[in-house]
Structure 1
Amino acid sequence: MATIHPLNVSKQQVLSVYRGLLREVNKQFTRTNQNLLWKTELTLQFRLAQSLESPEEIQRRFLDAKNTLTHLHAVRTHKHMMATYWPASGLTGQEKIERTAGKVGLALPEIQLNEEEADREASLFMVGQKHYKKDTLVEEFKKQQRQE
């Protein structure tokens, strides 16, 4: 285990990290999906830590909280940068193909399938140049496993 050097942790430093963690949790979890679990757990952990007596444990918890705050902030910044400078990172394969075609002035044709054809297409799985029904592919895989 790494040695922790003595560090005087003031009440202002702890409150600053706590407020920062609350801010990041609110931005990343609470606001986006209305889940109060993270905020509640964070508040509970800080309240439980108020009764700690050991300076080493207080310091360890403070450093963990500070590292967590740095990590949460970095993740949020990374997501923002990816969305700003590489907007295609969040697109599906089909959307990427459509955007690429659009850059050179082409539009992909829209294929209209009736319900029966759409169901058939959804049940097929292409491997190499062969089309398999999904269930058939699983059965063939199991046969190969038994033979080996």
Structure 2
Amino acid sequence: MSQVLNSYRHLLREVNIQYTKGANNDTFAKELKSIFRQNKDVTDPKKVSALVQNADNVLIFLKSSRQHKILRDQYAAIVLEQKKRIEMSAHRVGLELPKPYDPNSPLPGSNPEAAVADRVAKAFGN
């Protein structure tokens, strides 16, 4: 009987950590309590053992998914956005990416119309 209560307490604690407190939703805790109440009259040792094993499996799944989320959040900061990764790869081999075109200031210190006319003239060899 103590194994059943132990599993129940651990499950309830994990559900409270992940769902009740985190999402401010007590639906999962209520459902867990109702499942345990439905099976409170089970006396067959094999059936009790199977139910406890099932509860322990659910507990392991919940703890593992929480740990996975923690690790994913921790290491997601290391994974860089695609543009930054491309820039770092280019720098690694000694290249630099071209500066993106900014229509508001095509060339520093000049007006946009003259810069566009200059680029067009250079492109067509005039």
Please report the TM-score for the alignment, with normalisation by the length of structure 1. 0.53
Distance between the aligned counterparts of 2:28 and 2:17, measured in 1? 11
- Give identity over the alignment, percent: 29
- 1:12 to partner: Cα distance: 2.0
Matched, 1:96 2:81: yes
Partner in structure 1 of residue 18 of structure 2: 28
Of the three residues 56, 62, 71, the one matched with 2:52 is 62
Task: Tell me the secondary structure at the aligned position of residue 25 of structure 2.
Answer: coil
Distance 1:84 1:108 in 2: 32
Per the TM alignment, residue 71 of structure 1 is displaced from its structure 2 partner at its CA by 0.8
The reply to whether residue 17 of structure 1 matches residue 23 of structure 2 is no
Secondary structure in structure 2 of the residue aligned to 1:35:
coil
Quote the Cα distance in structure 2 between the aligned partners of 1:29 and 1:109: 47
Structure 1 equivalent of residue 122 of structure 2: none
CA-CA distance at 1:101 after TM superposition: 7.2
Aligned with 2:81: secondary structure?
helix
- 2:24 aligned with 1:39: no
Corresponding residue for 2:39? Answer: 49
Q: Which runs of 4+ in 1 moved over 6 A?
A: 101-104, 106-111
Give the number of aligned pairs: 95
Letter of the 1:42 partner, please give it. L
What stretches of structure 1 of length at least 5 have no aligned partner? 1-10, 90-94, 112-148
Deviations 1:58-81 (A, max 9, x none): 111110001100111011111111
Q: Which residue of 2 is the match for residue 84 of structure 1?
A: 74
d(CA) in 2 for partners of 1:38, 1:78: 20
Shift of 1:97: 3.5
Cα distance change of structure 1 residues 108 and 51 upon mapping to structure 2, 3 Å threshold? farther
Structure with the bigger percentage of strand: 1
Tell me which structure has the larger Cα radius of gyration: 2
- SS of aligned partner of 2:12: helix
TM-score of the aligned structures, taking structure 2 as reference length:
0.61
